């Protein structure tokens, strides 16, 4: 998916809160150990900042079983996203959310290939 983002195959919507979460997740020792040969955390974040569109959500949403995931819905609604991409079961269970499909990364790649 990062290669597709580099090529601008899609527009990534981000917020300060989602970037903070990304840094937190990518910095976890368990994840860093399992992705030792993958793109370094700082390079991933830089790419997302460079290619992403910053959204400042204007509306608070409280819809997800895991309240920490509401920030992704806020970005999607605030940025008028075409789709939310997630492997998180709490988000996937809301598909669609306010008319926005929520799909797995594999499904999203299939959608990109079909477009």
Decide: 86 and 102 in contact? Cβ < 8 Å.
Answer: yes
Give residue-wise pLDDT tens across range 36-61: 545 677 888 899 999 999 999 999 99
Domain residue spans of the chain: 2-81
pLDDT at 14: 97
Give residue-wise pLDDT tens across range 75-106: 999 999 999 999 999 999 999 999 999 999 99
DSSP 99: T
- Concatenating the DSSP letter of every residue in 3-31 gives HHHHTTSS--EE-HHHHHHHHHHHT-HHH
What is the value of pTM for the model shown? 0.87
pLDDT-derived band at 29, boundaries 50, 70, 90: confident
């Amino acid at each position: 998916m990062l290669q597709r983002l580099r090529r601008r195959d899609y527009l990534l919507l981000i917020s300060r809160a989602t970037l903070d979460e990304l840094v937190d997740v990518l910095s976890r020792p368990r994840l860093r150990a399992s992705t030792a040969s993958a793109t370094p955390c700082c390079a991933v974040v830089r790419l997302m900042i460079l290619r992403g569109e910053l959204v400042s959500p204007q509306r608070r949403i409280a819809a997800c079983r895991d309240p920490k995931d509401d920030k992704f819905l806020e970005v999607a609604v605030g940025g008028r996203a075409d789709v939310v991409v997630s492997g998180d079961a709490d988000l996937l269970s809301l598909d669609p959310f306010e008319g926005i499909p929520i799909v797995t990364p594999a499904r999203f790649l299939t959608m990109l290939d079909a477009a």
